[in-house]
Chain A
Amino acid sequence: GAVVSQHPSRVICKSGTSVKIECRSLDFQATTMFWYRQFPKKSLMLMATSNEGSKATYEQGVEKDKFLINHASLTLSTLTVTSAHPEDSSFYICSATPGLTYNEQFFGPGTRLTVL
């Protein structure tokens, strides 16, 4: 199956700093990418939908100025957590799909963010 990578896999940062997480589709072009967050022992929560070359669509309750999403190419989307605080500590997962008519989403391995 198609492969999606995330970098870094783990990151620890100080409160107030910004952290960038990359999501790459390695062997296909992803017209749409999705970002999720997951708290311990909880389910995945969709944060935003990102289409290449356009602004991301954020789910209700997700601060777009806090979680900056850029989908500048068909193989790369980035999530930047700005001015991170301890409550932003979470497991961030991206997924990608070749197009809206495609049935599967291919998920990355996730990024564990810890804010001290």
Chain B
Amino acid sequence: DAKTTQPNSMESNEEEPVHLPCNHSTISGTDYIHWYRQLPSQGPEYVIHGLTSNVNNRMASLAIAEDRKSSTLILHRATLRDAAVYYCILRDTGNQFYFGTGTSLTVIP
């Protein structure tokens, strides 16, 4: 199973940008990179996904390295509601998600 590595925790000031890194050095050519976030005692929530090109949506941006061995989730202006555990996940052709340890993001008012 492909694996991802993320920092255990990060902090950000409110209304400042946040860059959450993820390493996935064993990624295969067909693996999609997904990001989900989870609030305490809730199911994960979709944030963004991509394959090779950078992606933008209303929640965040995803920057994917040219060799695809790493990616960065960018929250443009962190709010208190963005405090959560963020998971970087590789999705294989079987559509299974194998979660890593995730990054716990704290947003400081």
List residues of chain A with CB under 8 Å of any chain B CB: 1, 4, 6, 32, 34, 36, 43-46, 49, 91, 93, 95, 97, 100, 102-110, 112
Contacts and interface: CB of A to CB of B under 8 A. Distances in A.
B94 A43 contact: no
Max chain A Cβ within 10 angstroms of own Cβ: one of B49, B93, B96: B96
Interface of B: 32, 34, 36, 38, 41-46, 49, 87, 91, 93-102
B45 A107 contact: yes
Nearest to B32: A103
B101 A43 contact: yes
B95 A46 contact: no
Given A104-B46, A107-B36, 5 more contacts: A34-B97, A44-B97, A46-B97, A49-B96, A108-B43
B83 to A, nearest CB: 15
B17 to A, nearest CB: 25
B44 A44 contact: yes
Contacts of A34: 96-97
Q: Which 9 residue pairs are nearest across A and B when measured between Cβ atoms? A: A107-B43, A44-B99, A43-B99, A107-B44, A100-B95, A109-B43, A93-B43, A110-B43, A108-B43
Contacts of B34: 103
Nearest to A112: B41
Given A44-B44, A108-B43, A110-B43, A100 B100 contact: no
Main secondary structure of the interface of A (DSSP, over half): strand
B42 to A, nearest CB: 6
B98 A46 contact: yes
A36 B98 CA distance: 10
A60 B20 CA distance: 30
B46 A91 contact: no
Residue among A95, A103, A106 with max Cβ neighbours from chain B (10 Å): A103
24 contacts: A4-B43, A34-B97, A36-B99, A43-B87, A43-B99, A43-B101, A44-B38, A44-B44, A44-B87, A45-B99, A46-B97, A46-B99, A49-B94, A49-B96, A95-B43, A95-B97, A100-B93, A103-B49, A104-B46, A105-B95, A105-B97, A106-B46, A107-B43, A108-B43
